[in-house]
Amino acid sequence: MSRNAESTAFRSALEVVRGVEPRVADAIAAELADQRESLKLIASENYASPATLLAMGNWFSDKYAEGTVGRRFYAGCQNVDTVEALAAEHARELFGASHAYVQPHSGIDANLVAFWAILADRVESPALRKAQARQVNDLTEADWFALRRELGNQRMLGMSLDAGGHLTHGFRPNISGKMFDQRSYGTDPATGLIDYDRVAEAAREFKPLILVAGYSAYPRKVNFRIMREIADSVGATFMVDMAHFAGLVAGKVFTGDFDPVPHAHIVTTTTHKSLRGPRGGMVLCGPELADQVDRGCPMVLGGPLPHVMAAKAVALAEARRPDFADYAQRIVDNAQALADGLLRRGATLVTGGTDNHLVLIDVSGYGLTGRQAEQALLDSGIVTNRNSVPQDPNGAWYTSGIRIGTPALTTRGLGAAEMDATAELIHTVLNQTTPGTGPDGAPSKAKYVLDPAVAESVGKQAADLLTPFPLYP
């Protein structure tokens, strides 16, 4: 499709919205302007293609379709079947998985589906077996009580939050941290890297039902072959949440021991991060878990979103094209160029660099908290997010880290030279920002001082850097 056709489609859609609620149309236009003009370095964000975005705004949004392809609880789902089957087929082909479930609305939902499937497959409970066999009328109140207790007190071993793990891998703010008895493995304090011997030791001691690998703030590859061996040695189900790096798996940057699909019993992902699709989730697994995974809706999910599944099909088709592999490699090249540029200017990086799409700066080296650094960068047209570093003394709210990622800027076409210029802008802001004080004059973890002239100058340089790489020209 030509750029003109895309532009006309978006403009027309905006005019239709404007006719009903102009403030929404204005907010949409303002969001595009913001995303166009700032350096978007949030590691989990990207720019979906016009085809992906346009596939979401249509009549599929109006259709209910509980169930799975060819087996729905509603009539008239033949077109939903078409797009769901296409999305699943593209996902299977792209990742080499035998089964794909494309209904989850988000990464948390995909993980819930996976947890359910593993519990249903693994927990030894006569009551659960009866419920699974749809003999629910045979269950007594005592059976239901036992079933709830047995399902809800299983063991999960995942990567700790401050080492880069995710909330849904057994942490308190998420239901996984309440229903599972959870332990975590961290990283080596000297290197910042996963120590597989320590993971094996933790697994031997704790004997988890589920071993989870995957991260949202670990800047390195994970060896999934070793993790699977650890899981097998204690009889655990091995689950990988590849939400952050699914694009690198799709683009064959992560292969062999670093591709989770051949090694894990079950893999979950979001579709909107490095994979560059619509906001949503997905589960991949082998035949042994497929039946339980397909019960995701209505077991733990609300009705599927057919318009988003249509967009998933489009984005997955895009990811199967040869140029996606080139894109995925450029994401990593750019992250390494950004890390090198920061290191040369004196920044401290967790693990000393990166081999994926993200870089984690320990901003305590600049005398700042993550929150101060995040806001100072935002004032300067650089959008990042604060993040804990391992053993973070500032906790999960203020933090000591800034996480930056390259999937979005790589989509716009920026390369190594622009990454070096970006490193210079980030370093300038962090170097010129100082901690501020609260109203009582006491040191504050949130307040900061940055000369507005510096913020303005960096903001202008950031915008100039983007000018040759227009978003939706």
User: Of the two residues 187 and 292, which places its CB atom closer to ligand DSN in the complex?
Assistant: 187
Order of strands, edge to edge, in the sheet holding 358-362?
A: 358-362, 401-405, 385-387
Between 217 and 284, CB nearer to ligand DSN: 217
45 classed as catalytic: no
If you count them, how many residues does the chain have? 473
Site string for ligand DSN, 276-315 (x = CB under 6 A): ----------------------------------------
Which C-beta is closer to ligand DSN: that of 165 or that of 208? Answer: 165
Q: Residue 122 or residue 166: which is nearer to ligand DSN going by CB?
A: 166
Nearer Cβ to ligand DSN (88/167) = 167
| Residue 279 annotated to the active site | yes
Looking at 122, 273, 276, 386, which residue is catalytic? Answer: 273
Which run of H or E residues covers position 372?
helix 370-379
CA distance 71 to 1: 35
Shortest Å, Cβ 269 to ligand DSN: 11
The site string for ligand DSN over 137-166 (x = CB under 6 A, - otherwise) reads -----------------------------x
Which residue reads 């379709």 in tokens?
65
Letter string b/e over residues 379-389, b meaning 16 or more CB atoms within 10 A of that residue's CB: bbbbbbbbbbb
Determine which helix (DSSP H) or strand (DSSP E) holds 404, and give its type and residue range. strand 401-405
Residue 314 neighbours by CB distance under 10 Å: 24
370 forms part of the interface with ligand DSN (CB under 6 A): no
Site map for ligand DSN, 188-227, x if CB under 6 A? ----------------------------x-----------
Identify whether 241 is a catalytic site residue: yes
- 44 belongs to the binding site for ligand DSN (CB under 6 A): yes
Is 437 in a helix, a strand, or coil? Answer: strand
Strands 180-185 and 210-214: unpaired
388 forms part of the interface with ligand DSN (CB under 6 A): no
Instruction: Tell me which of 6, 37, 45, 66 is the catalytic residue.
Output: 66
- From the CB of 166, what's the least distance to ligand DSN, in Å? 6
Q: Smallest distance from the beta carbon of 409 to ligand DSN, in angstroms?
A: 16
Q: Which of 241, 318, 374, 379 is catalytic?
A: 241
Q: Which of 6, 18, 37, 64 is catalytic?
A: 64
* Beta carbon nearer to ligand DSN, 216 or 369: 216
Find the binder of ligand DSN among 46, 101, 103, 107 (CB under 6 A): 107
Nearest Cα neighbor of 426 from 373, 386, 389 is 373
Question: In this chain, which residue has its C-beta nearest to ligand DSN?
Answer: 44
CB nearer ligand DSN, residue 44 or residue 433? 44
Q: Which of 279, 320, 345, 447 is catalytic?
A: 279
Residue 361 C-beta: closest distance to ligand DSN, Å: 16
Instruction: Please enumerate, as own/partner, the contacts of 422-425 that have beta carbons within 8 Å and a separation of 24 or more.
Output: 422/39, 422/41, 422/338, 422/341, 422/382, 422/462, 422/465, 423/337, 423/338, 423/340, 423/341, 423/342, 423/344, 423/345, 423/347, 424/341, 424/345, 425/39, 425/380, 425/382, 425/458, 425/461, 425/462, 425/465
Cα separation of 33 and 258, whole Å? 37
106-109 long-range contacts, CB within 8 A, separation 24+: 106/270, 106/279, 106/280, 106/281, 107/166, 107/168, 107/241, 107/243, 107/268, 107/269, 107/270, 107/281, 108/167, 108/168, 108/174, 108/281, 109/281, 109/296, 109/300, 109/301
Minimum distance from residue 111 beta carbon to ligand DSN (Å): 10
Binders of ligand DSN: how many residues, by CB under 6 A?
4
Q: Which residues are catalytic?
A: 64, 66, 241, 270, 273, 279
Interaction site with ligand DSN (CB under 6 A): 44, 107, 166, 216
